[in-house]
Structure 1
Amino acid sequence: MNDSTEASGRPALTGVLDRLHEARLLRARIDGLQALLRLQQQQIERLHDRVSAGTPGGIAAQRLLALKQGKRS
């Protein structure tokens, strides 16, 4: 511990601040991905409601889906 910066503890503090910054960035990215996932889930639910509806468009969508699934088999 001959170096004065080591004795003062500044490098250790810098490392802690770097890790804290990285953790905050990671948390922000996770929050963004969760928001995107919620948005996509809402979009899927809306599409499902349209396909499941008893309207002519919903019935046509169900028929088209059944045809596409039949081709895969």
Structure 2
Amino acid sequence: MNIASGIPKFVSLGMIQQEGNPYVRDDTVFIKIMVDFGDMPKTLLPYTMSLNPGLPINVQKDMIKEETERRTQLQTRQ
């Protein structure tokens, strides 16, 4: 049995169910997602991808910033 998870406000049910919407065709949902990691170092990608996507963006950004600072401090100690 799966535990329910996700982002409940990702898209409203009304938008998906409306006639002629561009997201549903023949009982299939189409979602396009674009991810831009910009200036993020590649070593931080696994950490970033492990964050809970349900957290607000500003919280995720703060966590990534703190992890970046933590790693920088570890490197300067070595």
TM-score if structure 1 supplies the norm length? Answer: 0.32
Q: As a proportion of its length, which structure holds more strand?
A: 2
The structure having more radius of gyration, on CA atoms, is 1
| Higher RCO, Cα 8 Å, sep 6+ | 2
TM-score if structure 2 supplies the norm length? Answer: 0.30
